[in-house]
Amino acid sequence: MSSSLALSGPLTLSRSSKTSNSSSFLGFGNAIPSFGTRNVARSRVFMSISVGSETVVNDALFSDYKPSLAFLFPGQGAQAVGMGKEAQTLPAAVDLYKKANDILGFDLLDVCINGPKEKLDSTVISQPAIYVTSLAAVELLRAHDGGQQIIDSVDVTCGLSLGEYTALAFAGAFSFEDGLKLVKLRGEAMQEAADAAQSAMVSVIGLDSDKVQQLCDAANQEVDDSNKVQIANYLCPGNYAVSGGVEGVKAVEAKAKSFKARMTVRLAVAGAFHTSFMEPAVSRLEAALTATQIRPPRIPVISNVDAQPHADPGTIKKILARQVNSPVQWETTVKTLLTKGLKKSYELGPGKVIAGIVKRMDRGADIENIGA
């Protein structure tokens, strides 16, 4: 996918290299340390075009990436009351929550630590909470012996659905503040889209993706168009999430045993994420992304939409807008990382969902959790 930005405004060509990422690059000033690496001397020379305030680069810049150390960030559903408490011993993490309070207009840390669970689980709260807490986990790792060296060595990052925004912030594509504003709007837009229709999500356990697709096809034969279902999250072999109308999801649950599924688990989310039910959220995200300054990431960030890294800011904006109504290709993402020779990964943020997925795909995978 290539960017189709109109070349209006001043046009300059610059030859850039992938070098260290300072806090000013991320827009933090001096108050909060950069999430980026400091010693990225793995110079990757490329041609960039400045179009007004936006930089256009070859979107295939990272296509030949060779992963060694990855940071993986969780998505919605990883939240738990009490998260964020451990990170409060670190001034850098405390500053993240303070900045979040100013942007969100409420005490995010209080909800993270004290709940109630029903409030934390809501889409509009859980998405900002996971974003901030995951980046606080980066600061927690930084404070450990050898933590900065680990952060400096990361050469690829990605996140599950919402976690893609966290990964992009870590990679310097946008500032912490801009990322949080996008996540806030994303949660609100997805909640509104969910409220506009009777929809749901269910995990189907114990089947391969072809069987789950057959199960969806069978369910769709029994419901009208407003209740159709589809695979929304390709998580890992034997675990796929199906989204759609409530009646369609009920049909999936009723037919699952006949397709030899081990079990189904209805997910505690607002509605049919990553399907056409989220179409109303796309236009709101497109408008917000258009107004947000996005830079080329300094390391590959793997997209949920196509399991590929993108370098061009215009393309990243289009991908992020499409993400909410496109199936999550997490299985392909992890499989590609492992196939390309990934040696070590860290899951940063609440929960251990991602570690479980990675271990299911490769029992010998080296992955460590850093909570906050």
**Which residues partner with 53 through β-bridges?**
none
What single letter denotes the amino acid at residue 324?
Answer: V
Per the CB < 8 A criterion, the answer to whether 227 and 248 are in contact is yes
Interatomic CA distance for residues 220 and 242, integer angstroms: 12
The candidate with the shortest Cα–Cα distance to 356, out of 70, 74, 1, is 74
Determine the 3-state secondary structure of 123 from DSSP.
helix
Residues 6+ apart with CB under 8 A from 149: none
User: In whole angstroms, how far apart are CA 213 and each of 80, 123, 220, 245, 351?
Assistant: 31, 27, 10, 16, 28
How far apart, in whole angstroms, are the C-alpha atoms of residue 86 and residue 143? 12
Please give the Cα distance from 18 to 197 (Å, whole number): 45
- Identified catalytic residue from 274, 303, 310, 326: 274
Which residue matches tokens 């738990």?
A: 80
Phi-psi region of 244 (alpha: psi -120 to 50; beta: other; left: phi over 0): left
Angle, CA 281 vertex, CA 231 and CA 228 arms, to 5°: 35
Helix (H) or strand (E) holding 186: helix 176-195
How far is Cα 348 from Cα 71, in angstroms, rounded to an integer? 7
Tokens (6 digits) for 152: 């400096």
Active site residue 161: yes
In terms of Cα–Cα distance, which of 316, 338, 359, 332 is closest to 2?
316
DSSP bridge pairs for 369: 347
Strand, helix or coil at 62? coil
Catalytic annotation on 274?
yes
DSSP at 245: E
Distance between CA atoms of residues 251 and 216, nearest Å:
9
SS3 41: coil
Catalytic residue among 34, 48, 126, 161: 161
Return the active site residues: 161, 274
